[in-house]
Amino acid sequence: MNQIPQDNQGPIDVVIMAAGKGTRMKSRLPKVLHRLAGRALLAHVTDTAARIGARHVVVVTGHGAAEVEAAMSATGAALQFARQEPQLGTGHAVQQAVPLLPDDGTVLVLSGDVPLIGEETLRALIAASAGQRLALLTIEFDDPTGYGRIVRAEGQGGQGAGEVTAIVEQKDATEAQRQIREIYSGVMAVPVGLLKGWLARLDNRNAQGEYYLTDIVKLAAADGVPVVAHVIGDALQVAGINSPAQLAALERAWQLRQADALMAQGVRLADPARFDVRGTLACEADVEIDVNCVFEGSVYLGEGVRIGANCVIANARIEAGAVIHPFTHIDGEKTGVTVGERSLVGPFARLRPGAQLGTEVHIGNFVEVKNSTLADGAKANHLAYLGDASVGQRVNYGAGSITANYDGANKHRTVIEDDVHVGSNCVLVAPITIGAGGTIGGGSTVNKSTAPGALTVARGKQVSFPNWKRPQKTPKA
Answer yes or no: is 477 within a domain.
no
Let me know whether 229 and 278 are in one domain.
no
Say what the pLDDT of residue 54 is.
96
Say what the pLDDT of residue 5 is.
38
Cβ neighbours, 10 Å, residue 146: 12
393 in Cβ contact with 368 (< 8 Å)? no
Answer yes or no: is 252 within a domain.
no
pLDDT by residue (tens digit) across 24-57? 999 999 999 999 999 999 999 999 999 999 999 9
Let me know whether 222 and 310 are in one domain.
no
Alpha helices in 104-234 (DSSP H): 119-129, 192-200, 216-222
Say what the pLDDT of residue 9 is.
64
Answer yes or no: is 323 within a domain.
yes
What stretch of H or E contains 369? strand 368-370
What's the CATH number where 186 sits?
3.90.550.10
What's the CATH number where 330 sits?
2.160.10.10
Residues of the chain with pLDDT under 70: 1-9, 154-161
The phi, psi pair for 247, rounded to 5°, reads: -65, -45
Helix, strand, coil percent content, the chain, rounded in steps of 5: 20, 30, 50
The Cα–Cα gap between 255 and 80 comes to 31
Residues marked active site are found at 382
Say what the pLDDT of residue 297 is.
96
Say what the pLDDT of residue 157 is.
44
Is the overall model pTM greater than 0.85, yes or no? yes
Say what the pLDDT of residue 276 is.
97
Asked which of 238, 259, 282 is the last residue of a domain, the reply is 238
Answer yes or no: is 87 within a domain.
yes
Answer yes or no: is 257 within a domain.
no
Instruction: Please report, to the nearest 10 degrees, the dihedral formed by the alpha carbons of residues 252, 255, 142, 183 taken in order.
Output: 110
Let me know whether 299 and 183 are in one domain.
no
Q: Please give the DSSP secondary-structure letter assigned to residue 406.
A: B
User: Of 88, 118, 257, whose CA–CA distance to 187 is shortest?
Assistant: 118
- 3-class state of residue 416 by DSSP: strand
Number of domains in the chain: 2
Let me know whether 287 and 360 are in one domain.
yes
Let me know whether 438 and 323 are in one domain.
yes
Say what the pLDDT of residue 207 is.
79
Let me know whether 190 and 318 are in one domain.
no
The amino acid sitting at 385 is Y
Answer yes or no: is 213 within a domain.
yes
pLDDT by residue (tens digit) across 318-354? 999 999 999 999 999 999 999 999 999 999 999 999 9
Let me know whether 233 and 275 are in one domain.
no
pLDDT by residue (tens digit) across 227-262? 999 999 999 999 999 999 999 999 999 999 999 999
Let me know whether 41 and 113 are in one domain.
yes
> Which structural domain, as residue segments, surrounds residue 449?
267-456
DSSP codes, 204-233: --STT----GGGHHHHHHHTT--EEEEE--
User: Of 372, 374, 343, 348, whose CA–CA distance to 360 is shortest?
Assistant: 343
296 in Cβ contact with 278 (< 8 Å)? yes
Say what the pLDDT of residue 158 is.
46
The angle subtended at Cα 51 by Cα 50 and Cα 55, nearest 5°, is 45
Check residue 304 and give left, alpha or beta (phi > 0: left; psi -120 to 50: alpha): left
Answer yes or no: is 25 within a domain.
yes
Let me know whether 87 and 174 are in one domain.
yes
Let me know whether 284 and 227 are in one domain.
no
**Torsional sign, CA 71, 76, 77, 79:** positive
Say what the pLDDT of residue 4 is.
36
Let me know whether 171 and 76 are in one domain.
yes
Answer yes or no: is 209 within a domain.
yes
User: Of 344, 349, 390, 384, whose CA–CA distance to 371 is shortest?
Assistant: 390
The phi, psi pair for 306, rounded to 5°, reads: -120, 130
Let me know whether 440 and 392 are in one domain.
yes
